[in-house]
């Protein structure tokens, strides 16, 4: 099906939650949220919406047809399960589970919900979630987003929402409504435009149902924070293997696919000081004519700018770099239309783990310094 994609403006600052219920002071925001909720509850079409991590592509988690629309619009392989989003613990219990949330998650939920943490919960026989959301696993992934627009949309439609990032499969995740438009125009009827996503990388996915618990995807909540506040078992949390080998069972199926890739070739430089020497060597080794090649340089702490390149500062802190990462990858790719993107790697501590996870998947080549 082909759509005329409408971008509907919403103002996150006009939404307040009182006892878990959204109160919306701006009229346009209210109308547009109602339009989006109506689309979700009366059709099977997927729609774009902002979360605090990245823009998501929403459909009812309870409907096979809605979930099919998500996979179709993104062109995503159907064996990669989706995260279900809820607006409150009350909604999670009313709509999805008939058991108490496992004790192991108590501290994490108290600290990080609403927010960028996704947990795995068991699927029971009477669970109404579409098996297309879970890709037939015996668990489902769930989070309560903190973005007021996301939470209000889920509360108003009173529907648990399945939502992957709203990019076309393999592309960098979208952190602005225009990124979603670039990838999915004509494929979805509505994008709610709530401005730029604060966090900039997706949620952290953890599995506390296994012992030791597993970090399935690093993201907006750091491993260090999880160890610090999780208590008990979380001290021993294990990082899932970055790339699942061909013969191993795939715990997070997302790991075996190419991800986050701009059209331009991304080269990631790790431990390369100010970058001068390694970038110079790279250009020589590949016989790159820098007068005829458009090159972007995404720097953080140490790389020096180069007048021949399009230089972008990702920021210095982990929060800044996370916030800018996908935005600048897309900007130099889609607007500047560069041929090559050189990126400065960061330490894999705190926010750095999620940043390097995304960068190593986006990169076609990695250069290690000393």
Which CA distances in Å does 174 have to 53, 113, 117, 241?
9, 22, 18, 25
Query: Which of 14, 66, 69, 80: binder of ligand TXA (CB under 6 A)?
Result: 80
Of residues 8, 141, 296, 353, which one binds ligand TXA by CB under 6 A?
141
Interface segment toward ligand TXA; rule CB under 6 A; list 11-19, 74-82, 266-274, 299-307: 74-82
165 is a site residue for Mg ion (CB under 5 A) = yes
Count CB-CB contacts under 10 A for residue 34.
15
Beta strand segments in the chain, E:
6-9, 15-18, 21-24, 47-49, 56-60, 83-85, 117-122, 139-143, 161-162, 190-193, 204-207, 214-217, 238-239, 265-270, 295-299, 310-313, 340-344, 365-368
Interface segment toward ligand TXA; rule CB under 6 A; list 24-32, 34-42, 133-141, 324-332: 133-141
Query: Which of 12, 56, 59, 262 touches ligand TXA (CB under 6 A)?
Result: 56
Min dist. Cβ of residue 99 to Mg ion (A)? 29
If phi > 0 it is left, if psi is from -120 to 50 it is alpha, else beta; for residue 63 that is beta
Does the annotation place 53 within a ligand binding site? yes
- For residues 187 and 312, which CB has a smaller minimum distance to ligand TXA in the complex? 187
The region of 21-29, 114-122, 185-193, 286-294 touching ligand TXA under the rule CB under 6 A is 114-122
- Residues 6 or more apart whose Cβ sits within 8 Å of residue 279: 269, 272, 297, 306, 342
Among 300, 113, 76, 322, CA closest to 218: 322
Kindly tell me which of 54 and 120 has the beta carbon lying closer to Mg ion: 54
Toward ligand TXA, which CB reaches closer, 118 or 300? 118
Residues that bind ligand TXA (CB under 6 A): 51, 53-54, 56, 80-83, 116, 118, 120, 134, 137, 139-141, 145, 163-165, 202-203, 205, 216-217, 252-254
């Amino acid at each position: 099906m082909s759509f005329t994609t409408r971008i509907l403006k919403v103002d996150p600052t006009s939404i307040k939650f009182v006892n878990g219920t959204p109160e919306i002071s701006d009229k346009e925001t209210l109308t547009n949220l109602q339009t989006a909720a109506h689309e979700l509850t009366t059709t099977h079409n997927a729609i774009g919406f902002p979360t605090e991590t990245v823009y998501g592509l929403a459909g009812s988690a309870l409907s096979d047809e809605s979930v099919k629309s998500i996979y179709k619009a993104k062109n995503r392989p159907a064996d990669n399960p989706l995260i279900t989003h809820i607006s409150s613990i009350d909604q999670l219990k009313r709509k999805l589970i008939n058991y108490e949330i496992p004790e192991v998650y108590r501290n994490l939920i108290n600290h990080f919900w609403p927010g960028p943490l996704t947990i795995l919960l068991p699927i029971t026989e009477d669970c109404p979630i579409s098996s297309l959301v879970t890709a037939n696993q015996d668990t489902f992934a769930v989070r309560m987003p903190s973005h007021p627009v996301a939470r209000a949309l889920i509360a108003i439609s009173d529907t648990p929402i399945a939502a992957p990032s709203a990019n076309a499969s393999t592309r960098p995740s979208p952190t602005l409504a225009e990124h979603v438009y670039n990838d999915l125009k004509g494929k979805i009827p509505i994008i709610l435009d709530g401005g730029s996503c604060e966090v900039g990388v997706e949620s952290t996915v953890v599995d506390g149902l296994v012992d030791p618990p597993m970090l399935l995807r690093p993201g907006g909540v750091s491993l260090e924070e999880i160890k610090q506040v999780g208590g008990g078992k979380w001290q021993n949390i294990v990082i899932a293997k970055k790339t699942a080998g061909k013969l191993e069972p795939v715990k997070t199926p997302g790991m075996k696919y190419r991800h986050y890739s701009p059209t331009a070739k991304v080269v990631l430089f790790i431990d390369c000081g100010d970058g001068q020497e390694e970038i110079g060597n790279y250009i020589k080794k590949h016989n790159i004519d820098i007068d005829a090649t458009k090159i972007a340089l995404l720097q953080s702490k140490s790389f020096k700018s180069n007048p021949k390149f399009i230089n972008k500062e990702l920021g210095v802190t982990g929060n800044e770099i996370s916030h800018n990462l996908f935005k600048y990858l897309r900007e130099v790719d889609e607007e500047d239309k560069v041929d090559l993107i050189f990126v400065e790697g960061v330490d894999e501590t705190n926010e750095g783990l999620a940043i390097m996870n995304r960068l190593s998947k986006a990169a076609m080549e990695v250069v290690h310094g000393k």
